[in-house]
A and B are shown apart, each in its own frame.
Chain A
Amino acid sequence: MNLETVPLGTMWRVKSVHEDPFDHEKGVHLEEIGFLEGELVSVLVRAFPGDDPMVVRVGHSTFALRRVEARCVEVEPDYSSV
């Protein structure tokens, strides 16, 4: 499952960030702004039309991401209830 396709408003945890084969910096930058293993993430808004860009909450921060950026973030269900 990756962040691009998760339902709106549901809580997930970052499993890993993988490299975009066309842009090696993208993965690194996603990690540096806070998409790190174990962080809680959720999608708050998807723009209309086209669902791009989208608004994502990670930890305490909120970011606008493009779909191709969100696609790099692998997520897993939030098993613990925080």
Chain B
Amino acid sequence: MNQSVGHNTKKIALALSLFVLSSVALAQKSSTDSIAEYRAMLQDGNPADLFEAKGEDLWKKARGPKNVSLEKCDLGKGAGVVKGAWVELPRFFSDTNRVQDLESRLVTCMQDLQGLNAEEINKTPFGKGEQANLTALATWISAESKGMKFNLPQGHIEERKMYEAGKRLFFMRSGPHDFACATCHSQDDKRIRLQDLPNLTKNPGAGNGFGAWPAYRVSNGQMWSAQLRLNDCYRQQRFPYPLFGSDATIALGVFMGVNGKGGEATAPAIKR
């Protein structure tokens, strides 16, 4: 009897240890491989498609107080040229005398061409009103450069100054946690929890990381623009709130984009 109890206990112990082992294996699968599988599965039907369609429609539609479309907007390659514009942004624009990223440039066009109020758009929270339209526009415009290689211009001195300022901001440790962008994004093959971190100081990380946004975020079902991506990085860095289209955010875009030269544009990507 004692022997049989002992035998049963052994059996239970064995079953339990197998269960523990298999659940560890399952957990390992669910936490790493499955994320990749899930993303691959979603690539077939990236919800970003819907934002792309909305963005294209917004580009062509007469809107705003002046009731005109954005089809004459100069994104850097001449009025109305969309294809290939995104892989050369941010860049210097002589009419505004500023280096601008895609989103801040679109705001300029919405004001100049359509008569919308740039200051109001800049102050609108992400995902609301004209900001939601802006994200859709950025999604479509970036998609029009999908598969192209990053080639940000550095010919103008303001573009080179922005690169240097962006580099300094990238490495700027501050706030209660002493975090810089570089704390998480200046080494190869590192993770936060299970999330892989691109090294944004060089390729392939810079091209992969910078080149993926706007992206559709599965975890919250939202389309995130590059500005929102940076905004949330700064939140997690425990910094104050970066102003929409501010020079610091654009300088960081120049730093990452130039580092990503030759990398492939994958936006609009799909993220966890």
Decide if A and B are genuine partners: no
Q: Hey, which bits of chain B sit against chain A, CB under 8 A?
A: none
Residues on A facing B (Cβ under 8 Å): none
